[in-house]
Amino acid sequence: MNIAVITARSGSKGLKDKNIKPLMGLPLMGYTIKAAMESHCFDEIMVSTDSPKYAEIAKELGAKVPFLRSAENSADNASSWDTVREVLIAYKDMGQTFDTVTLLQPTSPLRTAQNIIDGYALMKQKKANAIIAVCEPEHSPLLCNTLDDSLCMDGFLSKAAQGRRQEHQKYYRVSGALYIIKTDIIMSKEDIYSENTYALIMDKRQSVDIDDEMDFAIAEALMSSHNFVK
């Protein structure tokens, strides 16, 4: 038994109501609900939200919203994993338990059903406790450093960073597009990277994460230019 938890809090600061903001004619969360449904990987697809308005939209799009998120897990400092645990506990109280839980953030609208299918296939192949989506960063972290108030850049780049870009070691970043985790692991451990966790490498296009207006415009442009089908 597998459950998809789509986290859609209403109190977005970077982009007001981003989780229901229309993107190419569909509320943002709709792309994630659609991908989850089309993957056929889940026995339950639910949206965790603190908003009755969001809940109604989610249900119209085909997801379940059996309860609203608690005020504690709707605060700015609440973590997604606290929300996931809240969902699992609530379902257990209703008599339903699951082998895996998949966190799908609605801010990754270009993540596809195939990405989810690939994640579950990798989990089976590796006999993993968790699968986490990653992608290559836009720029190598070797090109980054801190600056003090003087703005002096003496020694800013290491020798490794000063070589040809093609010779740099390849890095990856957590994209936020997909997390598949065994429920007993998420309920018993704080650090999901600690044991038997593997990366699902996704391309950068599929890994766009919408936080602000510019991200939204990038997602819209990618969908338009690649004839993205809802």
Name the residue with tokens 């609605």.
Answer: 106
Q: What is the pLDDT of residues 151-161, one digit of tens each?
A: 999 988 877 66
CA atoms 86, 88, 90, 93: torsion sign: negative
Name the residue with tokens 């309920």.
Answer: 187
CB 211 within 8 A of CB 15: yes
In angstroms, the CA 54 to CA 56 distance is 5
Neighbours of 140 (CB within 10 A): 15
Half-sphere exposure in the Cβ direction for 191 (13 Å, CA): 4
What is the pLDDT confidence band of residue 226, given thresholds at 50, 70 and 90?
low
| Element housing 44 (H / E) | strand 44-48
Q: What is the pLDDT of residues 105-153, one digit of tens each?
A: 999 999 999 999 999 999 999 999 999 999 998 888 888 889 999 999 9
pLDDT of residue 33: 98
pLDDT of residue 168: 64
In angstroms, the CA 90 to CA 119 distance is 26
Residue 79 CA to its chain's centroid (Å): 13
CB 161 within 8 A of CB 142: yes
Task: Give me the residues paired with residue 26 across strands.
Answer: 23
Whether the predicted model's global pTM rises above the 0.85 cut: yes
